[in-house]
Chain A
């Protein structure tokens, strides 16, 4: 254990020294031609492929989307950089870096165009969008005579050298690391784990997707520029689907969601492909076969979801005696009305799931919503939190209308929720689950994260401390570094509540929090909910089937049946309501219940 600690400290302190030494070494090697030319060429391919694999890993590995046309972005960068260096920029030493960065920026601009339709579509459709983009880029390039059309484009000087490749590779690793281990990176991960839960926790998924796409494409473009100035010849055919497949293989070979994996994948693949050169055309048969076999036997790759500690930034330590953060709602209402629902109606096709629901909820209340299965309780929650758009009616919180907003915008207005079937970010640690809840209040932006500014470090430390406090408060701190999927059932339910509290809501919606719990656990949960309401100054709406839970906890209760509100009032009023008894026991059951008879 101690030696491990020493090693971590040694590498994290000496890393800049190693990198500097590496750079000097590459300078010397290329200046005095110390390396066999072929070996040097392969080394440069390795570097370029590392950048490509990192770039694709952001989208496919960390975000869990399927981009399968990454060569399209590479092509944009390659042609952009080449046209700049050959035709537009005057000669000079600064031409190369400028051309490469410009190529990256062009590819990033193309990503914006691709990202827009990708918001409308999910899953496999994104694969279609990116592949079509790949085809469109190729087709457009074939039709532009100024860059040689289908014949290709040449005239680039061989500006890509080993030191340049080394520098760009290091810069890419650094930037991707900074991006992934930041608030936005956690947003990206939440999309992979459970996009819907991410939205409910306030993650602006559209913005995060766009940022991830743009950064990923920038590096694909950079790799394209380096590639063009290494080969000194590019043609539309260099960037077809086969090239995209190559990048996919590297990512899935090395490992998804891992920087170490991207590097390993690029190195192994590049070297292997060179070693198999003797096989000629059959090499291209083995390559896709490798991909298929990998997918079947090790779909996450060698390093899937794991990381070397070198590639993780040092985590901020908790300061001793740091001030206790405020857990109270970001937006506080003084008194009176918090939530107002009027005439809320929702149809699924011809089926009326909720009809004419009205509610005034004032701050500090606990409201119970009960009703038989299928009575519209969860539909009500989904309408309030923005997953469904109501057929009719209005919902407003603090006087702001919600019905047109997306779930993350609703969360920002102070509404957080849990889910009927637990939706945690399973592969992420308990701490990261809570930190994703703080997405909206991070206090720094993408450039802050990429450059690791002082503000970034300050905000990250605050978030870590806040998360730690919340976890301690709910006795989850000893699972801080554990993946959420390993927690026992009851703690998962509790973590979901903590995660919702991390968004600092004014209104908390709990969807069957006691489902699957025994009476003792249910009792403990009741106390917990009450404590949360008092300590966090919250208003709570809770759906539950456990009658003792509802009756003991809620000041007022709503009863739904087939989407219609059949009763409202205090626990005692509900207990004796004829309609309620009928809804739960049926009309004959109700008769028996009342008379106490036995048929």
Chain B
């Protein structure tokens, strides 16, 4: 029983990290219908910024996490401005391939600067609490609590504020929106800033839980988070949270039942099966066909 509860905790920790990254994918997709393949690498940059801020500058935890979020947000907005904005009117395929290219660029750029994996120092003194054989660490609690807080905050912004309604309107009609007096470029930049900022926070959380980081870490984690977004229904914020938790659960169960090397295989197979039977994800709405 304690074992199952322990696995459930692991699942929750992994699931929240996936969910936070998945939100970045889903926000950009929701607004621009663009799969931002570089998002996983923004997450990686977040983790590296966390490493720089903590091991080189010895900043306290809350500043580290803010710095990682801000740095990733700036990078996200820059990428949008330089690479995606010129292609907004171009065919979809150009934008997607550009996004892939940006991702590989960020990875290899980081690799050229820092060829070896890095070890992130302990950001917070980790205390483990023991309840009847069930161990909960303070890091786990912080990760889960912070994720829930961020998700609730985002949900509030998107549903209740005028910026949120501008984002939702943008996803329907980008051409008409400027006529209503909405500054489209600013809203797109805001979307990228929030999405990438979440990626940066996720990078820090990941580095707290699994302290060895490398420039290619964003590929796999990013892809998994993307699967989470698709499983939940890409474009849907609540779907991203749900998808993150489902993927966390599937991976934890797979790790218990099978050798750990099969984890990726199972995650991607899950994605393919889902796409066959429910191409729009669990909470996604099918797009209507226009003739």
Contact = CB atoms under 8 A, between A and B. Distances in A.
Interface stretch (A202-210, A282-290, A500-508): A282-290
B291 A288 contact: no
Interface string A336-369: 0000000000001000000000000000000000
Given A128-B275, A284-B108, A299-B90, A136 B265 contact: yes
Interface in A363-384: 378, 382
Contacts of B275: 117, 120-121, 125, 128-129
Q: From DSSP, what is the main secondary structure of chain B's interface residues? A: helix
B291 A196 contact: yes
Query: A interface, how many residues as a size bin?
Result: 35 or more
B291 A387 contact: yes
A245 interface: yes
A237 B86 CA distance: 33
Contacts of A391: none
B265 to A, nearest CB: 4
Contacts of A121: 275, 279
Interface string B100-131: 11111100110110010000000000000000
B279 A295 contact: no
B83 A296 contact: yes
A292 B102 contact: yes
B111 A284 contact: yes
A124 interface: yes
Residue among B101, B109, B226, B262 having the largest count of chain A Cβ atoms under 10 Å: B101
Q: Which of B223, B264, B268, B291 gathers most chain A CB within 10 Å?
A: B291
Contact of B112 (A132, A281, A296): A281
A284 B101 CA distance: 11
B98 interface: yes
Contact of A296 (B86, B100, B104, B226): B86
Interface in B157-179: none
Name the residue in B91, B108, B276, B279 with the highest tally of chain A Cβ atoms < 10 Å from its Cβ.
B108
Interface string B259-288: 101101100110110011001000000001
B112 A295 contact: no
B149 to A, nearest CB: 30
Given A136-B269, A143-B261, A296-B83, A124 B100 contact: no
Contacts of B83: 292, 296
Given A143-B259, A281-B115, 14 more contacts: A60-B93, A128-B226, A128-B271, A135-B264, A135-B268, A139-B261, A284-B112, A285-B109, A288-B102, A288-B103, A288-B104, A288-B108, A292-B102, A299-B94
Interface of A: 60, 64, 66, 68, 116-117, 120-121, 123-125, 127-129, 131-133, 135-136, 139-140, 142-143, 196, 241-242, 245, 248, 252, 281-282, 284-285, 287-289, 291-292, 295-296, 299, 348, 378, 382, 387, 419
Ranked nearest first, the 8 interchain pairs of A and B with the lowest CB-CB distance are A291-B101, A288-B104, A288-B105, A139-B265, A284-B108, A292-B101, A288-B101, A295-B98
Interface of B: 33, 35, 83, 86-87, 90-98, 100-105, 108-109, 111-112, 115, 219, 223, 226-227, 230, 259, 261-262, 264-265, 268-269, 271-272, 275-276, 279, 288-289, 291
